Amino acid sequence: MRRPPKDLAEARYLDLVDEAALDVLRYLQRRMPTEAADLLNDALLVAWQKRAQLPVDVTDARMWLFGVARNLLRNGVRTETRRSRLNETLRAELTATAAPPADDGAAIRDLIARLPPEIAEVITLVHWDGFSLADIARLQDVPSATVRGRYRRGKELLLSATHAASS
């Protein structure tokens, strides 16, 4: 049971929802099945926001809501097209920038993998992700001295491991 509307605009909105929401949902499901519920929600939100401007005639209001749904579909298609183009462009860029051979750096990655996890994380955050030691301390919520110690210890372990491997 719904509460009585506060004003005429709200009453027209509620009549519109009763009259058209299910039909608009079916319309959207036929076109974008996985996003239909979200699109209906967006359409009803637009209708609520513009309830004072809704057509008085229920049939006209219903057609107006279908128009809103259609515009949302078109926006969704445009967004999906842009996203697809962006993905293609990004894929082409990543392919164009020659990635190093699969074994390039494998030895150092193996050495880092053998470090204690908290030390390996500091080393990778500094050298692969570009974080400063102060940033890492904030990220890990530990004192800066702890991060500096882990970084120093990691460098020492890596240096000794590389010397051992080259001997």
Domain with 82 in it: what CATH number?
A: 1.10.1740
43 lies in some domain: yes
CA-based nearest residue to 108, from 50, 56, 158: 158
Q: What is the mean pLDDT of residues 76-96?
A: 84
51 lies in some domain: yes
Instruction: Identify whether residues 14 and 83 lie together within a single domain.
Output: yes
CA-based nearest residue to 114, from 164, 155, 157, 156: 157
Angle at 21 between CA 19 and CA 23, to 5 degrees: 85
Instruction: Identify whether residues 91 and 12 lie together within a single domain.
Output: yes
- Residue 137 phi, psi dihedral angles, 5° rounding: -60, -45
Stated length of the chain: 167
Distance of CA 137 to the CA centre of its chain: 26
pTM of the model: 0.50
User: How many domains does one find in the chain?
Assistant: 2
Of 96, 116, 137, which residue is a domain's last? 96
- pLDDT-based confidence at residue 92 (cuts at 50, 70, 90): confident
Of 48, 71, 96, which residue is a domain's last? 96
2 lies in some domain: no
101 lies in some domain: no
Of 45, 61, 96, which residue is a domain's last? 96
Domain assignment of residue 73, given as a range: 8-96
3 lies in some domain: no
Instruction: Identify whether residues 73 and 92 lie together within a single domain.
Output: yes
State the pLDDT at residue 136. 92
26 lies in some domain: yes
63 lies in some domain: yes
130 lies in some domain: yes
State the pLDDT at residue 104. 65
Instruction: Identify whether residues 62 and 81 lie together within a single domain.
Output: yes
Indicate if the pLDDT at residue 85 is higher than 70: yes
- pLDDT-based confidence at residue 106 (cuts at 50, 70, 90): confident
Most confident of 53-67, 78-92, 94-108: 53-67
Q: What is the mean pLDDT of residues 22-45?
A: 92
State the pLDDT at residue 39. 94
Instruction: Identify whether residues 89 and 110 lie together within a single domain.
Output: no
